[in-house]
Each structure stands twice: as structure tokens, then as C-alpha cells.
Amino acid sequence: MWKIIGTKPKIKNPVAGEVVIAPERAGFTLIEIIVAIAVIALLAMVISSGIAAFRESAAIDQALDEAFELLREARSKTLGSESASSFGVHFTSSSVTLFKSWTYTAGDPANLVITLPAIVEINAIVLSTTTANVVFERLSGAAAATGTIRFIGKRSAKTKQIEILSSGAFRKL
């Protein structure tokens, strides 16, 4: 509503037939303030859930990339006959470990352990062997175990996988 500076709106009193000066309204009502706070809270909730989902997705991608890189490194070291040995990768629900030789030994100081972010876990290790190890054969680079490793976000159940083929090749799914 337009207001002329220096004048007050006048309202006729219908009962007495006289003109009464109406008081000016200043500030906000309690309902207006509550509605504004509710709208701001709703926007903050929508934005924060989007950020959390993005953060979890990025953590899953990071964990998948790190596991993929360890598989690549194990195969490369095996094909390069580093230390005249085979190399492999061991998977648990919360970590991925690069190890030397055909068998995984927990606590070996030569192991390279990568711990997954807290919001990501490996929830399915489906390999053709009874262990959670993928070991590469010298000379050919073939994998002794084939199958899939599935990474999952703990909040959203978003999943990504690595497939290991008998040729020693692997790919992200």
C-alpha cells in the first residue's frame, strides 16, 4: 500500500459519522515471524540432505577408486615380477589391503592398508574362492579369484561394484 510521508490515513467512523485517524502498523506479527522461520528451516533441511547425499556419493566413488587402484598396483607389481613374487588385494567390510605373496597375512608391515570412509562399507564380497583375496598370477596376470566386490553407502544404500575377470582385468560397474 502506498503511503504519503507526513500524513496519516483517515477512516470514517460509520457510527458517529466522524473521521478518526487510524494508528500506523509497525513491525511483524507473530504468525509472520513463525512462517518465515518455518520456510527457512525447510530450505535448510532440503539443502543439507542434498549435501549429505552428495558427500556420501563422493565417498563411495573415492573408496571404489582406491580399491581399483590397489588392484591395478597388485597386478602391475605381479606382472613386473617385483620381488619375484605375486601380489594380491584383501577385502574386508571396512578396508582394502595390498599384500605380497599368495596368502594374506594380517599385520604384515609390508601390507598397504586403505581404510574406507566411515560412511562406506563393502557389504558383498562374491568371489570364486573361499577367501576375500584377489591374487594375480605371475607372467599372465590372471586373477586367481573372479567375482564382484560391492561398495555401499551406509545412509542411502547407494551401491557401486568392481568386477574381477579371470583374465586379471577388472572394471567398475
Q: Report residue 11's pLDDT band, with 50, 70 and 90 as the boundaries.
A: low
Q: What is the 3-state secondary structure (H, E, C) of 52-75?
A: HHHHHHHHHHHHHHHHHHHHHHHH
Q: Does residue 149 form part of some domain?
A: yes
Beta partners for 159? 152
pTM of the predicted protein model: 0.74
Q: How many domains does the chain have?
A: 1
Q: Report residue 49's pLDDT band, with 50, 70 and 90 as the boundaries.
A: confident
Range of the domain at 61: 30-172
CATH number where 59 lies:
3.55.40.10
Q: Does residue 111 form part of some domain?
A: yes
Q: What is the rounded CA–CA span in Å between residue 14 and residue 23?
A: 17
Please report, in angstroms and rounded to a whole number, the separation of the first and last CA atoms in the chain: 61
Give the lowest-confidence range in 15-19, 44-48, 66-70, 81-85: 15-19
What is the pLDDT, as a whole number, of residue 25? Answer: 64
